[in-house]
Amino acid sequence: MAAVIMFAILISLGIWQLDRAEQKREIYKKFLLHQSSETMDLNPEQPIRTDKPAMLWRNVKATGVFSDEAHILLDNQVVKGEAGYFIFTPFRLSNEEVWVLVNRGWLPAGDDRKISPLIETIATEVEIAGVITDVPSSGLLLGDPIIESMTDHIFRAQRIDLKEITGLIKRDLLPYVIRLKPESAQGFLREWTLPGSGEEMHQGYAFQWFALAATLVIVYLFVTLKKIS
């Protein structure tokens, strides 16, 4: 009975990893499809602008102003072995009261976590170029999302939650994030990974679980036959 239960668990884990690989594959297909389309200007009002599934992974440009009232630091982001933050700043589209959250890249946390990194305030109107992404799922979360105040306008978060940030800045946000491209001048370190990367890793994990299941069957048969003989 124990062998049967363990076998079922191992097979289930293998199937789960194959499903994760398929999810990554579908994300990558959507990425390629939307990346092949023309760069979209976010400034003209249009219905697709609020349709997150239709917008994900599109190249976009936008003209507007970064908020000088709030910068959100996504905690626990490690780059090349160094702990730091992804810096998110709300961005208002020109001539509209429409806001979108922009991931401007990575900054190191430094030795003293009580001290926030230096973040430049951009008071003038700028044009940015980026890629539409979903809200990042990375970040540790213990209990409800908490936004911690580091200074009057810099806040640290364990997870990016658009509802929480909307409450913080008192402005509605579009339902996605603009991930700033490396060629845009208003950001920090940006070494973005391709969406859907990791398919091979999940396939490898699936192989390991199936191999363990096969090993379990072989050991079970060997022990059973040995007892019979």
Asked if pLDDT for residue 134 goes beyond 80, the answer is: yes
141 — pLDDT class (breaks 50, 70, 90): low
Do 43 and 94 touch, CB atoms closer than 8 A? yes
68 — pLDDT class (breaks 50, 70, 90): confident
88 — pLDDT class (breaks 50, 70, 90): very high
166 or 220, higher pLDDT: 166
Do 158 and 137 touch, CB atoms closer than 8 A? no
Range list of β-strands (E), the chain: 40-41, 59-66, 71-79, 82-93, 99-108, 126-133, 147-149, 154-157, 173-180
Q: What is the mean pLDDT of the chain?
A: 87
Asked if pLDDT for residue 139 goes beyond 80, the answer is: no
* pTM of the predicted protein model: 0.76
